[in-house]
Chain A
Amino acid sequence: MAHPVENLSSIKLAWAVAWSAFWTGFPFKLIVALLLLAGQVHPWEGAGLVTLLVVSIPIDIWAVGLTARTVFLERLSMEIRGPVGVSLWWQGAVLGALVLGGAYYAVGTTVAVGQKVAAAIIALIKKFYPALPIAEQITLELLLWTIPTAIVLLVFVLLWLHLFGWRVKRVVVASGQTSSASFVERVRQWDYARVPADPTLVLVSFAGVIVTLTVVFWVLLPVTTPTPHPDYPLQQVQKASKPVKPEELINKTEATLKKAEAVLAALEKEKSRETTKGKSK
């Protein structure tokens, strides 16, 4: 008898895991991206992108593991032993790299060819209908090359989902154990998988992080606009610069120190008097 997982389409299974995993990890990555932005590093290029991708790895492993377990438990009534997240993540990543490589090439070619063909078609139309207005031309040309591009892209996404679904199924077949729990119990189980072992600790550390972030935000946020209007007469705040007279400053400081010394001496005297009083008593 075929394994029950074989009844599910691999694309649907992969979608169920990948889509929820994406959104599970999203808020955490968003925070990382925002922190990078606050530090004036663009998370979409260079070092920022590398940082974001590296930080995403543990987040994704955790998210894939969590959502995969949920999907198996709820839909297939299967419990999985072992590090599902790690195993699914690296397989998905390898497949992703392969498919992305192929997609990069294919989409690039489609865009290049598509744009050429679109331009040729427009030229042809213009031959017969020279008055083709610019607005129509732009939209027509855009559609002519984006539609095939979108289709190629979709094919690659489906390809990846199919391959990933195939790997997901293998994981289930290899290490899945049928759970005897009722549906209600299974829902409860995956729901509980989302509660930390020590809620108070998590809440307190979260609150700490938020207070820290708030202070960082206050420090980073410029008081006046970082992009002033070129014509705006900015009122330069002129600080009345007091001419510093070093001699005066020294004299003043000396006087203050002397005063302080006098006060200190007086205090000590009083103290010693009090202690002697106490002793005499």
Chain B
Amino acid sequence: MNAIFQKVYDFVDERIGLKTLEAKLMNEPIKGGSRWAYVFGSCLLFIFIMQAITGMLLMFYYIPSADHAYASTQFIIHEVDYGWFILSYHFWGSSAMVVMVFAHMSQVFLWGAYKKPREMIWLVGLVLFVIVMAFGFTGYLLPWDQRAYWATTVGVEIMDKTPIVGDFLARFLKGGPTPGQMTLSRFFVIHVMILPAALMGLAGLHLFFFRSAGPAGPFRGTTEELKAKTDFFFPRQVWKDIVAMAAVFMIICTLAFIEPVQLLEQATPDPGEYHPEPEWYFLFLFQMLRWKIFSGEFGQFLGAIAIPGLFLLLLAALPFIDRSPERNIFKRPIALLSWTVVMIGIVVLTVSAILNREFLD
């Protein structure tokens, strides 16, 4: 058996240089040694792969038609063996993806790993961040229940407020002036074809840039210390990555187990008793738009488009503004303070949105 495997391996190796390729992939020295702090990127890749697998499985039964989307999702939940679990895994996986994106970005930010020569990795990473959020937004509509319908309606109205292109963008997404079958078709195609293709391509580029520029390593320690602790990507970092992946996997399974997906009523243009709300990771933005300063046409533009847009632009410009080579976060007070303020802001606004529910009943 082993001999046959060896023969096949040698055959491939002779033609494409498998051994060298394998060595290149595995033997990447990690300055200062492998760390648990470096697992977030790999975990993101893992979550994405699992989302792709569960997503493909769901497409075995899902029907992207306004008449059947709700029924087929209910069919998956109630009739297909373990369908409820696959769907719930996919649902919680999307939340895990957003949490992990925040963790990954925070780690890179706090480690100062976006600085020269790794600016390109950071930029591609930001686009990936937007893609992950777009995944969440488009996937939310597909079950075609009240929650889905209303979150999408509000979300698209927000995009409509973008200057110049807003109207076009909203019509493009809705496939017309009002939500309907065309909206579902478009969201479906974006969710299952366009975004996965974009994410795969850009994640590949992200990794390629990462390998070309090399890992940043810890932000302190003498050369001797770093050298002494250095190890290769394989096996120690891979081991840490896979343990973290297993933990993520088990946590998502548990969440799916304790809190399975339950649909609301089928979507109708009457919200009835239901108070529309977006997915929890958009709640902070949603809550912010309830503030007085963001009322009126200009206020809306400010809160929904200008502030998030400028924030993203600021992130993109970060490696070019912050050019000091200092990477130690404890010597970058502005960076530490901004990160803390943003995180507290997001948490406080999310909690406010939850508290705000009391005032709606």
Contacts and interface: CB of A to CB of B under 8 A. Distances in A.
A, B co-complexed = yes
A234 interface: yes
B260 A37 contact: no
Interface in B80-115: 81-85
Contacts of B193: none
Contacts of A31: 250
A136 B254 contact: no
Contact of B229 (A26, A187, A235): A187
A225 B348 contact: no
Given A232-B74, A234-B78, A136 B291 contact: yes
Interface string A133-162: 111101100110010000000000000000
B341 to A, nearest CB: 12
Give the interface size bracket for B toward A: 35 or more
Contacts of A135: 287, 290-292, 352, 356
Contacts of B352: 135, 138-139, 142
Interface in A9-43: 23, 26-27, 30-31, 34, 37-38
Q: Helix, strand, loop or mixed for chain B's interface?
A: helix
B247 interface: yes
Contacts of B253: 34, 217
A75 to B, nearest CB: 10
A228 B359 CA distance: 29
Interface string B341-355: 000000011011001
Contacts of B247: 26-27, 30
B292 A30 contact: no
22 contacts: A23-B36, A27-B247, A30-B247, A30-B250, A34-B253, A134-B290, A135-B287, A135-B292, A135-B352, A136-B291, A142-B352, A183-B224, A183-B228, A224-B84, A225-B77, A226-B84, A228-B78, A229-B77, A229-B78, A231-B265, A232-B78, A235-B79
Interface of B: 33, 36, 74, 77-79, 81-85, 224-225, 227-229, 243, 247, 250-251, 253-254, 257-258, 260, 262-263, 265, 287, 290-292, 348-349, 351-352, 355-356, 359
